[in-house]
Amino acid sequence: MSASVQEKDRHVFPRWRSFKATSRLGELALPAVELEVDTSELDVSLAKGVAGWKGDPSLWRGLDLLGTAVVAGRLQDFAALVAEIRDNPLAPIFARNVLGRTLAAELDKAPLSDCDGISNVGARQEIRASRVRLASAPRDAIEWTELARAYTIAGLNDKASKAIAAALHLSPSNRFVLRSAARFFLHCGEKERALALLGKAPTIKHDPWILASEIAIADSLGKASRHSRLAREKVGMDIAPSELTELASALGSLEAESGNHRNARRFLRQALVGANENSIAQIGWLNRSRLGEWVDASKANPPLLHEANAWNSFYKGEFEAARQESLCWFRDQPFASAPAALGSYILADIFWDYKGAKELAQAGLRSNPDDLTLLNNLAVCLMELDELTEAEAALSRVKAEGRGAKIDSTYKATFGMLAFRKGDHVEGRRLYLEAIEGAKNSGSKQNAARAAFHLVFEEIVAQSGYVEDSIRRLREFEGIEGFKEWPRFFERVNALMRAGVESGLG
């Protein structure tokens, strides 16, 4: 077969973005314990500053006043003075730059873009920058977490592990550090460790974000969270909906898992209010995989909604949008395997952009060197690019033993493709046919259809006498629900046929 696409079981695991992006998304706003705040002293200080400046509106008094305005959280009331100082050549250049930036920030209300994500190359630069910062500020837990993220993106999990340990040592109860650490442990396959970390977090009883992640991880392990009762109480509390969206979504997933779809929908509808992209992606997945009656999330449009959009577009057959969204999703979550897997499949099988797909698969493999889907997709691209030795090396890393039937059929088909490309058409055909049967037997008609199409491609490329047979086999899959690749695959059949005729070989 060709490149593979599998939507895996999904849970509301914490996202791991840069500190800046996480903060801008508002996921670090709610404190575990809320205090009453009296700002009257700052109001007094500001009133004195204003009176002083009115009595003597000089440059340095103005700077002094703006300092108080910043501390009092009232800088926006002094935009004219900020502009005046920014444009005053006598003002210290640092103040002009720093205060001028606040004006720019006021003007720049652009939504958070996916540009925040860093590539593998960017990760190396981030590592260097983080290490320089940490050399002078080794107690900065946030920077240790940033360093860990950059290491993870670069595929240096051992170093990331040490950085995460340092961050946890410095700030064992900070939400950003805890959720990032949990996501890192999940990335390393250490679910139990992630669960233990969050379950023992000092703030779990107060913090719905920690609670949501803990419940999702327990669910992924097939365990009942010790905190699920508390979580149900929490979602009923008077807390901003945006702070509860992941928790409601995690509880909705639990209910859906246990077949209680009505309760699930109730929680998921709650999660929709103030939803973030993680909740929407979860709702989308539950709609497709668990719930009989859909929860309509089509009106929600939180920032960075790439995962949900990518899958929605893919299942609708809107492949250009799916391609773009999957690439954005990968930029947003560069250490995750799923966006690289979906993106490389779309690039390879739908757009026949094997070079692009190969690069994306390789980028995903840096953080996930043992990911079978990515290795499979890479091998397919390498074969299409006539790099057979490299493809064989990639496939040698695929250990299909002990995997589920769906996965087996995918890899079997890819081994079939390798056999074809090496000239062993009989073996190739046998493997493809086994893969088709295996996929059908495991209930995945779509995978069977994909394998059947790829067998056609290989028969045409090999100019075997079995092209018509293989095309006839496709009839079996006509009209399969949700198999939107059909027209593009047929286009490829036609293109390969045309190419064969034009080269005089057909």
- In the list 80, 93, 104, 110, the residue contacting other proteins (rule: CB under 8 A) is 93
State the number of binding residues for other proteins (CB under 8 A).
65
DSSP 371-412: -HHHHHHHHHHHHHTT-HHHHHHHHHT---TT--HHHHHHHH
Q: Are 150 and 130 in contact (CB under 8 A)?
A: yes
Q: Are 234 and 227 in contact (CB under 8 A)?
A: no
63 belongs to the binding site for other proteins (CB under 8 A) = yes
Nearer residue to other proteins within complex by CB, 74 or 406:
74
71 belongs to the binding site for other proteins (CB under 8 A) = yes
Nearest alpha carbon to residue 152 among 17, 305, 328:
17
Lay out the site mask for other proteins across 15-54 (x = CB under 8 A, - = otherwise).
----xx--xx-x-xx-xxxxxxx-x-xx-xxxxxx-xx--
* Nearest approach, Cβ of residue 60 and other proteins (Å): 4
- In the list 3, 12, 81, 95, the residue contacting other proteins (rule: CB under 8 A) is 95
* Nearest approach, Cβ of residue 217 and other proteins (Å): 22
Q: What whole-number distance in Å separates Cα of residue 355 and Cα of residue 386?
A: 11
Q: How far is CA 493 from CA 90, 125, 354, in A?
A: 72, 44, 17
Footprint on residues 237-266 left by other proteins (CB under 8 A): none
Lay out the site mask for other proteins across 114-143 (x = CB under 8 A, - = otherwise).
-------------------x--xx-xxxxx
Q: Are 160 and 148 in contact (CB under 8 A)?
A: yes
- In the list 6, 7, 64, 493, the residue contacting other proteins (rule: CB under 8 A) is 64
Lay out the site mask for other proteins across 168-197 (x = CB under 8 A, - = otherwise).
--xx-xx-xx--------------------
Side chain identity at residue 6, one-letter code: Q
Residues 6+ apart with CB under 8 A from 94: none
* Nearest approach, Cβ of residue 258 and other proteins (Å): 35
Q: Are 416 and 458 in contact (CB under 8 A)?
A: yes
Which alpha helices (DSSP H) does 137-203 contain, by range? 141-153, 157-170, 175-187, 191-199
Q: What whole-number distance in Å separates Cα of residue 256 and Cα of residue 266?
A: 11
Nearer residue to other proteins within complex by CB, 70 or 405:
70
67 belongs to the binding site for other proteins (CB under 8 A) = yes
Nearer residue to other proteins within complex by CB, 8 or 169:
169
By CB under 8 A, name the binding residues for other proteins.
Answer: 19-20, 23-24, 26, 28-29, 31-37, 39, 41-42, 44-49, 51-52, 55-56, 58-61, 63-64, 66-68, 70-74, 85, 91-95, 98-99, 101-102, 133, 136-137, 139-143, 170-171, 173-174, 176-177
